[in-house]
Amino acid sequence: MTVSKPVKYTLMSCLLFGLNAHAVSPNKASLLANACAGCHGPNGSSQGPATPSIAEMSPVYFIESMSAFKTDERPATVMNRIAKGYTKEQIKLMADFFYSQKMLRTEQLTDPAMASLGETLHAANCEKCHAKGGRESADDSGLLAGQKIPYLRYTIQDILNGDRAVSRKMFKRLSSIHDELDSDGIEQLLHYYGSQK
């Protein structure tokens, strides 16, 4: 079932209210997710400079990412070693927990002119799947708006090098931006995403 945001927040506030008044004991999901905060920030909102925020991330994307880390299909530093410690059920609980958190966007150093060029590139190439300027993380698309720039840069490098599998369409779009504008085009996109509050 997909729950719309307003209903989701109402549900959450009721749960929170109930938590305080009735002293509900912590659940499995929060216990699992709390351990992630050391690297990804409280409730999954990262202070950066590089580790990505995972709050508000689409559960489909979260589960897909953890599975890819588990099987070493996705390039990683520590996440492939961490993901192997969790069962499918635990990953599902964490995915739902982080989806229900609000992503807090911290200020990143960006160039307004670059960001503006990036916005045009995004609208022409990426908006269809990464809706609302990359603000929406639905199905298998990741969060882009306000995501940490070094992380996005590493990810795009991996995609262009063929180290990280994405859809044919996405690969073609990114490659053509890279071929036509060299790394400038990619940097413009990064400044656009990084500049969003």
Please check whether residue 193 is in contact with residue 134, taking contact to mean a CB–CB distance below 8 angstroms: yes
Instruction: Report the residue from 8, 9, 12, 49 that binds other proteins according to the rule CB under 8 A.
Output: 49
Please check whether residue 11 is in contact with residue 5, taking contact to mean a CB–CB distance below 8 angstroms: no
Q: DSSP 3-state assignment of 105?
A: coil
| DSSP label at residue 38 | H
CA distance linking residue 59 with residue 78, whole number of Å: 21
- Closer residue to other proteins in complex, CB, 20/112: 20
Instruction: Report the residue from 75, 96, 111, 136 that binds other proteins according to the rule CB under 8 A.
Output: 75
- Closer residue to other proteins in complex, CB, 104/129: 104
Instruction: Report the residue from 92, 127, 150, 178 that binds other proteins according to the rule CB under 8 A.
Output: 150
81 binds other proteins (CB under 8 A): yes
Query: Interhelix angle for 149-160 vs 168-181, to 10°?
Result: 100
- Closer residue to other proteins in complex, CB, 77/116: 77
- DSSP string of 41-87? -GGG----SSSPP-TT--HHHHHHHHHHHHTT-S--SSHHHHHTT--
| DSSP label at residue 166 | -
From residue 7 to residue 46, the character string flagging contacts with other proteins as x (rule: CB under 8 A) and all else as - is x--x---x--xxxxxxxxxxxx-xxx-xxxxxxxxx---x
Counting residues that bind other proteins (by CB under 8 A) gives 46
CA distance linking residue 35 with residue 49, whole number of Å: 20
CB of 76 to other proteins, least distance (A): 9
Q: Using CB under 8 A, which residues numbered 101 to 120 contact other proteins?
A: none
From residue 153 to residue 172, the character string flagging contacts with other proteins as x (rule: CB under 8 A) and all else as - is -x------------------
Binding site for other proteins (CB under 8 A): 7, 10, 14, 17-28, 30-32, 34-42, 46-51, 75, 77-78, 81-86, 90, 148, 150, 154
